[in-house]
Homo-oligomer: A and B are copies of this chain.
Amino acid sequence: MKFKKHVFICTNQKPAPKKSCGEEHGLQLVEAFKQALKDRGLQIEIRAQRTGCLDACAFGPALVVYPEGTYYGNVQLSDVEEIVESHLVNDQPVERLKLPV
């Protein structure tokens, strides 16, 4: 496994009125995750990156953490530290943000 955890954050923008994760918000999330990992010196073993549609548009902004395949929805910038610290570092998924998939 190249990465201990690999986080894929949707940056897909669909034309309104379709709900989608949104390029701007998605990219802000990507940058926030990258920075939080860098702050902890974890950017080599844990990767966060942008991705296309994760098939969870109605629950966006969405992301998935592998290898577990944990989907999170309605993720805000203020949630990034909690996901990093609880899930990525300590292997405790953030239940309140998990999607029932």
Contact = CB atoms under 8 A, between A and B. Distances in A.
What are the nearest 4 A-B pairs in CB distance?
Answer: A2-B101, A50-B52, A1-B69, A66-B66
Interface string A55-77: 11000000010111101000000
User: Chain A at the B interface: mostly helix, strand, loop or mixed?
Assistant: loop
Given A49-B52, A51-B49, A51-B50, A71 B8 contact: no
Interface residues on A, range: 20 to 34
A25 to B, nearest CB: 15
Contact of A49 (B1, B49, B54): B54
A53 interface: yes
Given A2-B69, A66-B67, A101-B2, A8 B51 contact: yes
